[in-house]
Amino acid sequence: MFIAYLVYKKSWIGLMGLVLLLTNALLLFDAGIQVEPYSIVYLNVLFLTTCVVFFIWRYKKETSYYKSLLALSDDLGDDWFERMPAPRYQFPDRIVYNLLENIYEQDQIKRREDQSTQQMDHNDLVSWVHEMKTPLTAMKITIDAHRSNELAQRLHTTWLKIHLLLDRQLYISRLANSDSDLLPEELKVNDLLREEIRELSTWCMEKNIAIDITGNTTSTAFTDKKWGGFVMRQVLTNAIKYSPTNGTIVINVETDANQSTVITIKDDGPGIQAHDLPRIFDRGFTGENGRVQHTATGMGLYLAKEISKKLHIQIDVTSTVGEGTSISLLFTRKNSFEQIRQSVL
C-alpha cells in the first residue's frame, strides 16, 4: 500500500523535488548569496529527511481508515456495516463512510423488497397447491368409488403421480423453515415403510412390481415421522420409477455394530452410470436415466439429501449399470437429533 500511496502523492513529491532543485540552483548561481558547499549538502540532507519523515507520518495517518476497510472486506457478512469503523476525519473518510452507508441502506431496502416478493410467491404457490388438492381429493373419492372399473384403476396411478408432485412441491416450499417443524421420536421402521409402500401401492400394481422386506423388521429409528417418511418416499419413488415391469424391489433392514439402523432399498433397474453417481443429489440433475424417463425432475434425491442432513440420516448410493441401484439410509443412535429428542422428553 505504501508504494501505491507514493504513486498517489507523486505530484506532491514532484513539487518538493522542484522546490529543492530551485533552492539549490539559487544557492549555487546567485552571486549575492554566499553559502559553503557543505551547507548546501546539509540543507539537502535535512530537507530530504524531513520529507521522508513527513510522508511516513502522513501515510500512517491517511491510510489507517482504509486499512480497516480492507480488513473488513476480507470477512464480509450481513453485518458488515455494523462492524465498519467510524470515520476519523471529515475528509475524505467521512465521504467514503457516507457513500458506504447509502449503499448499505439501498441494499437493505432491496433485500426487504426481494424477501417480500419471495414470501408473496411462496404464499401464492402454497395456496395454489392447496387449491389443487381439492379437485384431486374429489377425483380420488370418485376413483375409490369405482375401484372395479379398469379405467378408474389406470386413472388412480396418474392421480398418484400428480399427488406426489404436488406433495413434493409443498415440501420444497417448507424446506427452509423445516427445523421448526421437526418432531423427533422413536419409530418402528416397519410401520414407516409399510405406510409409504401403501401410498405407492397403486403404482407398484400398475407395473406389477413386488416389494420384499427382509432383515430385522422390528428395528426402530429416531427420526421425524413426516420428514423421515418423505425421504423414504423419494427413494421408493425412484426405485419404482426405474424398475422394469414385473421387477422386484428388495428392502433390507439391519442393525449394525453401533446399534444404528440401516435401511437399504435395492431395485433391479438400469443402474446409474459411474460419471452420474457423484451428481445424483444435485438439484435438477437428471443424468442419462432422466433423459430416458422424461418425467424425471432431478428434485427427488436432492430433497432426500437435504432433509437427511437435517435429520442426521446418512444416505449412500451404490449402483451397477444393468444390475440396479441400492440406496442406504443410516439412522445413527447417537446424534444431535437424538439429543434434541431426549431434551424434549
Among 305, 295, 301, CA closest to 162: 295
Q: Which segments of 74-209 does DSSP mark as H helices, in order?
A: 93-145, 150-174, 189-199, 201-207
- Cell matching residue 93: 473518510
| Helix, coil or strand: residue 315 | strand
Q: Alpha-carbon distance 313 to 328, whole Å?
A: 10
Report the sign of the C-alpha dihedral through residues 219, 223, 228, 229, in that order. Answer: positive
Closest listed residue to residue 300, CA positions, set 206, 200, 224, 223? 200
For residue 7, give the C-alpha cell. 504513486
pTM over 0.75: no
C-alpha cell at 167: 406433495
- Strand partners for 223: 185
CA–CA separation, 285 and 305 (whole Å): 13
Which residues, in sequence order, are CB contacts of 122 under 8 Å at separation 6+?
Answer: 173
CA-nearest of 277, 267, 264 to 243 is 267
Supply φ then ψ for residue 21, to 5 degrees.
Answer: -65, -45
Closest to 177 in 3D by CA, of 134, 222, 126: 126
Q: How far apart are CA 208 and CA 251, in angstroms?
A: 17
CB distance 39 to 28 below 8 Å: no
How far apart are alpha carbons 262 and 272 in whole angstroms? 22
pLDDT score for 58: 92
Number of residues in the chain: 345
Residues of the chain with confidence (pLDDT) below 70: 290-295, 334-345
In single-letter form, the type of residue at position 180 comes to S
